[in-house]
Structure 1
Amino acid sequence: MTELKDFSSPEIQRDFDIHEHDPAAIEAVYDTYADMRAKCPVAHSPKYGGHFIATTYDDIHDIVRDAGVFSSRVINVPDSIGQDGEMIPIQIDPPDHTSYRAIINPLFSPKRMRDLEPQIRAIVTELLDKMLTEPKVDFVDAFAREFPSQVFLALMGWDLADAPKLNHWVDMMVLGKPGASEEENEAIREQAGMEVYAYFAEMVDERMENPGDAEDITQILMSSQFEGRDLTQFEILNILLLFMIGGLHTVQGQLAHTVIYMAQNPEVRRQLVNDLDLVPTAVEEMLRYESAVCPAREVTEDTVVNGVQLKAGDKILIPFAAANRDPEKFDDPDTVDLTREPNPHLAFGAGNHRCVGSHLARLELRVAFEEIHTRMPDYRLDPEDLPERHLSQVKGVVRLPLIIGESL
């Protein structure tokens, strides 16, 4: 009988930090996942009080589908990004999770998303109109950051001019301040969280005083009930926080990672430019190839994952990026294939906590892919001014200098 490994076993120790700031380590993260997958599919890191990391598709798929053993009460390492209480419904376990999802799912139904497409396309068009007046732009500042934040504000029925504030708060909560200590970043995240809650409360209070006839998400949440009672303001604020965190940085990162890849691989970009019918499968392939989200789970009872003993109370990271490059699940996983089908990636998770905003994210990415590659078929990176990525539980891009109208 094979002896079980545990948190003290030397062969599974890795000095892995999901909030790593070293550029070389950030660029090599897929190699790091591959090394762990080959040598210790469930590794252990001493960072942030100690936690495990799963790296195979099958293990991560099983974990996200077992809410009984792997609770979503803790989805962050370290525990908090500045939220006050659990973000709803992602940090709520069944049975309450089911009731909350019954409220939220209709807000992001495929039909509701289809009805939003003209508004989303108008936002994309306006941003591209401004961006295409310059020969060189920072794509993150000019488009990738602004686009999802404006969509979020439009869905809420709030002022689109507030986008810079939202982006600042999300950056602070997700990334903290590079170079700051863990204690300093905890304080930075808490301060940003307090400012976000105050802003949300102001928006909800204003709507209560002036309800109007809007059918936006703010109004719908204020009219919703949880098991026969009205949602409390606290519940509404924690739902809105999840929508903001989940909707802004994820789409921003996905767009920027995609543009970096397409700039570096013009033959793939031209394939898309010449056949926009490929956009839906291209969106799925880029979601697989550059999966931004790396959530965590808390173990509720002693269990074994891939020969490693986990104890109740342990935390385990489940990087979807590692699962989606597993060669046991995907042929040639480090190569982009815009026609890849089937493509059972886990970019949106799986099980009852599968991303509630997946239909919206797909719509945003599809419209952006179409418009960018119609109006901006040629672009390239500047070898003297390269992109800067960041690693966190939402992997993204800090800045992306882009030369427009030229290609490799």
Structure 2
Amino acid sequence: MTDLKTSESPDLQVDFDIHSPEDVEGVYDVYRELRGERPVAHSSKYGGHWVITSYDDIHDIVRNPNVFSSRVLNIPDSIGQDGEMIPIQIDPPDHTQYRSIINPLFSPKRMRDLEPRIRDVVTELLDDVVKKKKVDFIEAFAREFPSRVFLALMGWNLDDAPQLNHWVDTMVLGVPGASEEENNAVREAAGIEAYAYFAEMIDARTENPGDEEDITQILMNSTFDGRELTQFEILNILLLMMIGGLHTVQGQIAHTIIHMAENPQDRKQLVQNPDIIPSAVEEMLRYESAICPARIATEDVVVGEVQVKAGERVLIPFAAANRDPDKFDDPDTVDLTREPNPHLAFGAGNHRCVGSHLARLELRVAFEEIHTRIPDYRLDPDDPPVRHLSQVKGVHRLPLIIGESL
């Protein structure tokens, strides 16, 4: 054990920052280099943390919550939340009880029942897109679509979508170019505003209960270990749902559209053979995995022949795992019919994404309708997309020329 390398070993040090805008276009090259040379590397950013890049190591970590706690999910440690976001920052056994409340709300059957409503939303948005020569696809579709679906599901006011999306963007991204201290402050301010918004909503519903069957009301009527959920618990569940429901699908749609615009042969596969869209969704989830969570070691543990000590944080980019050539043949190439495809885009183990069924449904319906209504589109070489790197990788702007192809 004494011969193992540690976080102080000079040859394990890397200058890696998951929030750096300079690395957004080359992050997969960074992951490839780290995986080949230092699959367990150490960055000094944000007080120091490990960066893990191999599929097997990441898969083992997410399936071992006793040693790798989710109590620390973010690097830096907070994105403005007050306490742990539930259930994603809760460890067993309490995590199991919280998931027993939330899992039925996002069950496969419940999500399938939403398909007609989801398809209506997509159709309405595309009715406007097809009339235009050029759109910012983020504003015209990728942000609006999951916002409409998720706010209706939660029972939140659709008119508040711009404010909710602003809070999510601030908490996830901070302010580009700002210092860590400045970003901590703006994230905390956004979190306080979001908590106040949800607290007022809960108070109003408590004073004037209605017949709503939306998820917010169901949570308010739920119990934990025989007692009602506290307002603090409900607030931290709603905060997590806001971030997951409004940000991740938006980014996945945008990354996929960019790839299909740049690779018309793949887009034509979807147009000519829509039956492959479910497998294409899985492949794009693998190829452009947005989520990069963290964990904290609860005890000394060896990862990839490196000593990780109790209290040290580890960053586990699912995007790095999903491009590991030891797990996937030709991982940097898109294969829309890849089988098997054991990607980790939704994580694994007890913290596997509770919204995965909804995300898959939204993505499938979106790509069915988009490639029926708009078989040809391309990027504007004079106005390229603007991506961002963070623990939820996404796209700021996506100028798209409609009706033309490479």
Please classify the TM superposition score into its range, dividing by the shorter chain length.
Answer: over 0.9
Is 1:141 the equivalent of 2:139? yes
Show the counterpart of 1:211.
209
Counterpart of 2:332 in structure 1 is 334
CA distance in 2, matches of 1:11, 1:139: 43
* Alpha-carbon distance between aligned partners in 2 of 1:205 and 1:297, rounded to the nearest angstrom: 34
Q: Deviations over 1:337-396 (max 9, x none)?
A: 110011000000000000011001101111111111111110000000000110000000
Among 147, 150, 154, the alignment partner of 2:148 is 150
Question: Which residue of 352, 355, 358 maps to 2:353?
Answer: 355
Report deviation, 1:20.
Answer: 0.5
Structure 2: which amino acid aligns with 1:329?
K
1:163 is aligned with what amino acid?
A: A
What one-letter code is carried by the residue in structure 1 that aligns with 2:8? S
Structure 2 residue 262 is the aligned partner of structure 1 residue 251: no
1:315 to 313, 324, 348: 313
Does the CA contact (< 8 Å) of 1:100 and 1:226 recur in 2? Answer: yes
Aligned equivalents of 1:273, 1:320: Cα separation in 2? 29
Cα distance in structure 2, aligned partners of 1:307 and 1:3: 10
Deviation at residue 253 of structure 1 after TM alignment:
0.7
Identity of aligned residues (%): 77
2: CA distance, partners of 1:132 / 1:170: 29
Task: Compute the displacement of 1:3 (Å).
Answer: 3.3
The 10-residue stretch of structure 1 (216-225 or 117-126) with the greater mean CA deviation from structure 2: 117-126
Q: What letter is aligned with 1:3?
A: D
Instruction: Give the aligned partner of residue 7 of structure 2.
Output: 7
The correspondence for 1:110, drawn from 108, 111, 122, is 108
The answer for the alignment partner of 1:82 in structure 2 is 80
Alpha-carbon contact 1:108-1:360 (below 8 Å) kept? yes
Q: Using the TM superposition, give the Cα deviation of residue 294 of structure 1 relative to its aligned residue in structure 2, in angstroms.
A: 0.1
**C-alpha deviation, 1:211, in angstroms:** 2.1
TM-score normalized by the length of structure 1: 0.98
Deviations 1:136-181 (A, max 9, x none): 0111111111111222210111221211111100000000011111
Determine the C-alpha separation between the residues in 1 that align with 2:88 and 2:157: 26
Q: Are 2:165 and 1:167 aligned?
A: yes
C-alpha separation in 2, matches of 1:144 and 1:317: 27
Q: Give the whole-Å Cα distance in 1 for the aligned partners of 2:305 and 2:102.
A: 38
Q: Deviations over 1:113-150 (max 9, x none)?
A: 01111111111111111222211011111111111122
Q: How does 1:4-403 map to 2 (within 5 A)?
A: 4-22=4-22, 25-403=23-401
- Kept in 2: contact 1:149–1:166 (CA 8 A): no
What TM-score results when the alignment is normalised by the length of structure 2? 0.99
CA RMSD of aligned residues (A): 1.0
Distance in 1 separating the partners of 2:132 and 2:67: 52
SS at match of 1:52: strand
Looking at structure 1, the residues matched to 81 and 62 of structure 2 have their Cα atoms a distance apart, in angstroms, of: 22
Measured in 1, the distance between the counterparts of 2:191 and 2:267 equals 39
Q: CA deviation at 1:2?
A: 9.9
Alignment partner of 1:27: what SS?
Answer: coil
Per-residue CA deviations over 1:55-104 (Å, capped at 9, x if unaligned) read: 00000000000000000000000000000111000000000000000000
Quick check: 1:276–1:370 contact (8 Å CA) kept in 2? yes
Cα distance in 2 for partners of 1:207, 1:316 equals 40
Unpaired segments ≥5 residues, structure 2: none
Per-residue CA distance 1:229-257 (angstroms, 9 max, x = gap): 00011111110111111122111110000
Residues matched between the structures, number: 406
**Which range is displaced more, 128-137 or 366-375?**
128-137
After the TM superposition, which segments of 4 or more aligned residues of structure 1 sit over 4 Å from their partners? none
Equivalent-residue separation in structure 1 for 2:198 and 2:128 (angstroms): 29
SS of equivalent to 1:347: coil
CA distance in 1, matches of 2:159, 2:369: 23
Letter in 2 for 1:328: D
> Deviation of residue 209 (structure 1)?
2.5
Q: Distance in 2 between matches of 1:312 and 1:345?
A: 28
